[in-house]
Structures are given as structure tokens and as C-alpha cells.
């Protein structure tokens, strides 16, 4: 934990999507800081295993429910002073498989959780995404850029779910004086990502460790700006602790090509796997890098973990998890 966020101003938080990749790290950080946590997840894309080490903590409670279901808010008794809404299918493999559930999480789920926060007079924070910028025509992407999004393309269920959720949060701020903010996350990676969720880092790492070809979409020249999960959690909690109601970008500033990520993974794993170029998904963004000036000036936040160091930590996680997966497959 970083010193800047070792003392947090909340007593009890609800983290939706809390058994997911980023959500589980948020639960862990909050508990370590003395905040009680209700981890809320329907386990469509999250895993109870991600929070198994937290279940013995006296301040932790796991609640299995779908935030878009009418009965779910009734199970969130609170009272809370922080509601972090991270429930949504975030990987292409998931939101293409579960399009309606993805749309519901951003619409019905966001509205229900805003009501929970209003009930308890809690700070609300929406986890939005760099996908609201679509395939951007402005680079780097600033928070005041409206984006270039295909509203009916295959990625639209995720993009538009988050764009609608942002509009809903903004309407609550304007008409109901909600204490609510928005954080736009860029390409977070690290331990507890799923091996086959379709995103570049876990895909390349698992392929390299297995000796399989690394499948790079297109010619690999498209760029991403990776942000290690510890830095993302710092940024999320900094936005939550602020009074900002404006969207804030949180992401890495080192822009690298997808092909460079694959080559670096090969180097760091010592793998002899070849790189195999495959078809590029529809509406896949060509360039992706956040302008993080607002986060620096407003919050004093900037990423600290170099992306190569973060890749090493991620490789170590998947290398350790691999024997357990293989044992389960053989059993």
C-alpha cells in the first residue's frame, strides 16, 4: 500500500464487482486501511477465489447478487459512506457473450446503486472506461473529448453501457446534488486477471508460458497505455476521496504497441514462442493513451510502477497459478 492512501476517510464501503480483477484489489486495499467492505458480485465474470483470502477478515462480507436485479439493493443494508460501482463485464470475451447483462449493469445497476448511495448519503464512484472515447480522433485523450464510438458495433454494448452510466451519474449530480464521481480507467493489468479473458497482457503471458504462439491482432501497431493494478487502485481511491464530480482519467502514460508488449513478454518469460498475427477485431482502437494532467493537478496522482516491472509481477502470478490450473484440468 502506498503511504498517500494508507489512511482512508470511510468506515464502510460497498464494492460492486468486488470479486473481479480490479474490484478484488479494491476490497483488499480498503480492508487493509481499516474500512469494512461489502463485496457484491453475481460471479458472471468474477471469481470467489479472488477474495477467498479476505473472507476470514472480520470487516469483510460477500454478497452474491446481480446489481441490476430489483431485489439486489434490498440486500445492501449498509449504511455505507462509500459505494464503488465496478460491476460490469469488462473483457471483450465477456461482453460479447453477455451483451444484455453488460448493458443492464451500466443502466439498471448504476441507477440502483445511485439510490443506495443517496439513501446513505454516501460518496458514489462509477468505474468508467477509456472505451467511452471509442477509436479516438484526438490523442492523447482528454476528459473533455467526446469520443468516436460506433453505437451499433460489436463493442457498443460495453461502450454505450458506460457512456449511459456516465450520463446517469451526471444527471444525479445536477438534479439531486449527488456526491458522485466518475473514473475512466485505461488498460489496467496485473495479478488476478483471468487467463483467457481476451485482453492482451494475460493472453500473451499465458501463451508464452505454455509455449504457444502469441496471437497479435492485426499488424500489432495499435498502441495501449498499460497501468499496473496497484497504481489504478491508488487513482480510484484518490478520486473517491476527492469531491470531484468530473470524469477523471486514470491510466499509464507509457504508450507502447501491442507488438512491443508481446515481444517484451517473450523476453521476460524466456519463451521461444513465435508471434502469430491474426485478424483484428472490429472497431479495435488504433491509439490509446490518456491525458492524465487532471489527475496530477487535482489529486497529485501519477503511475509509479514501470510497465515492464508490472509485467514481471503479472508473469510471476500466472506462472504460480499455472500448476494449479493444470492439476484441476487433469483431475
Q: Which of 158, 189, 228, 317 is catalytic?
A: 158
Long-range contacts for 173-176 (Cβ within 8 Å, ≥24 apart)?
Answer: 173/245, 176/118
Please report how many Cα atoms fall inside a 13 Å half-sphere around the Cα of residue 92, on the Cβ side. Answer: 15
Question: What is the per-residue pLDDT for 34?
Answer: 95
- Residue 18 cell numbers, joined: 468486488
b/e code 130-141 from CB counts within 10 Å (16+ = b): bbbbbbbeeebb
Residue numbers in the chain where pLDDT is lower than 70: 1-7, 323-331
Question: What is the per-residue pLDDT for 155?
Answer: 93
Q: List pLDDT tens digits, range 296-328.
A: 999 999 999 998 899 999 999 999 987 555 433
Please confirm, yes or no, whether 158 is among the known catalytic residues.
yes
Q: List pLDDT tens digits, range 255-271.
A: 999 999 999 999 999 99
Helix (H, G, I), strand (E, B) or coil at 276: strand
Q: List pLDDT tens digits, range 106-130.
A: 999 999 999 999 999 999 999 999 9
In order of their start, the domains of the chain are 7-188+228-252+286-304 (3.40.50.720)
CA-to-CA distance for 52 and 45, rounded, in angstroms? 16
If one counts every other C-beta atom within 10 angstroms of the C-beta of residue 174, the result is 10
62: part of which helix (H) or strand (E)?
A: strand 60-64
Please provide the distance, in angstroms rounded to a whole number, between the alpha carbons at the two ends of the chain: 37
161: part of which helix (H) or strand (E)?
A: helix 156-176
* Helical spans, DSSP H, in 195-303: 200-210, 229-241, 258-269, 293-299
Question: What is the per-residue pLDDT for 6?
Answer: 53
DSSP state of 290: B
* Sequence-distant (≥ 6) Cβ neighbours of residue 259 within 8 angstroms: 216, 219, 220, 221, 275
Question: What is the per-residue pLDDT for 60?
Answer: 98
Question: What is the per-residue pLDDT for 117?
Answer: 98
* Sequence-distant (≥ 6) Cβ neighbours of residue 307 within 8 angstroms: 226, 228, 252, 254, 256
Question: What is the per-residue pLDDT for 3?
Answer: 46
CA-to-CA distance for 217 and 224, rounded, in angstroms? 13
Question: What is the per-residue pLDDT for 87?
Answer: 97
Amino acid at each position: 500500500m502506498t503511504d498517500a492512501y494508507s489512511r482512508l476517510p470511510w468506515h464502510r464501503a460497498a464494492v460492486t464487482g468486488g470479486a473481479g480483477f480490479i474490484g478484488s484489489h479494491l476490497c483488499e486495499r480498503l480492508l487493509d486501511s481499516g474500512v469494512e467492505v461489502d463485496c457484491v458480485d453475481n460471479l458472471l465474470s468474477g471469481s470467489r477465489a479472488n477474495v477467498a483470502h479476505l473472507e476470514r477478515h472480520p470487516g469483510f462480507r460477500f454478497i452474491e447478487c446481480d446489481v441490476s436485479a430489483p431485489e439486489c439493493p434490498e440486500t445492501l443494508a449498509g449504511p455505507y459512506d462509500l459505494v464503488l460501482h465496478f460491476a460490469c463485464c469488462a473483457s471483450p470475451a465477456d461482453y460479447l457473450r453477455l451483451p444484455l447483462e453488460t448493458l443492464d449493469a451500466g443502466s439498471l445497476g448504476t441507477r440502483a446503486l445511485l439510490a443506495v448511495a443517496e439513501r446513505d448519503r454516501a460518496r458514489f464512484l462509477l468505474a468508467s472506461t477509456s472505451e467511452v472515447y471509442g477509436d479516438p480522433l484526438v490523442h492523447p485523450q482528454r476528459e473533455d473529448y467526446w469520443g468516436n464510438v460506433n453505437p451499433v458495433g460489436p463493442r457498443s454494448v460495453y461502450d454505450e453501457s458506460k457512456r449511459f452510466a456516465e450520463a446517469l451519474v451526471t444527471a444525479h449530480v445536477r438534479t439531486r446534488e449527488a456526491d458522485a464521481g466518475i473514473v475512466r480507467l485505461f488498460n489496467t493489468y496485473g495479478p488476478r486477471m483471468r487467463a483467457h479473458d481476451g485482453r492482451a497482457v494475460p493472453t500473451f503471458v499465458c501463451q508464452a508460458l505454455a509455449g504457444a504462439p502469441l496471437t497479435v491482432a492485426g499488424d500489432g501497431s495499435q498502441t495501449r497505455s498499460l497501468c499496473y493494478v496497484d497504481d489504478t487502485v491508488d487513482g480510484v481511491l484518490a478520486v473517491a476521496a476527492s469531491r470531484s464530480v468530473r470524469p477523471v482519467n486514470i491510466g499509464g502514460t507509457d504508450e507502447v504497441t501491442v507488438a512491443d508488449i508481446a515481444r517484451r513478454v517473450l523476453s521476460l518469460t524466456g519463451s521461444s514462442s513465435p508471434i502469430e498475427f491474426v485478424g483484428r477485431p472490429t472497431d479495435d482502437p488504433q491509439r490509446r493513451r490518456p491525458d492524465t494532467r487532471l489527475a496530477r493537478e487535482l489529486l497529485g496522482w501519477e503511475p509509479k510502477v514501470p510497465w515492464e516491472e508490472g509485467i514481471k509481477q503479472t508473469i510471476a502470478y500466472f506462472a504460480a497459478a499455472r500448476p494449479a490450473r493444470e492439476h484441476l484440468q487433469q483431475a
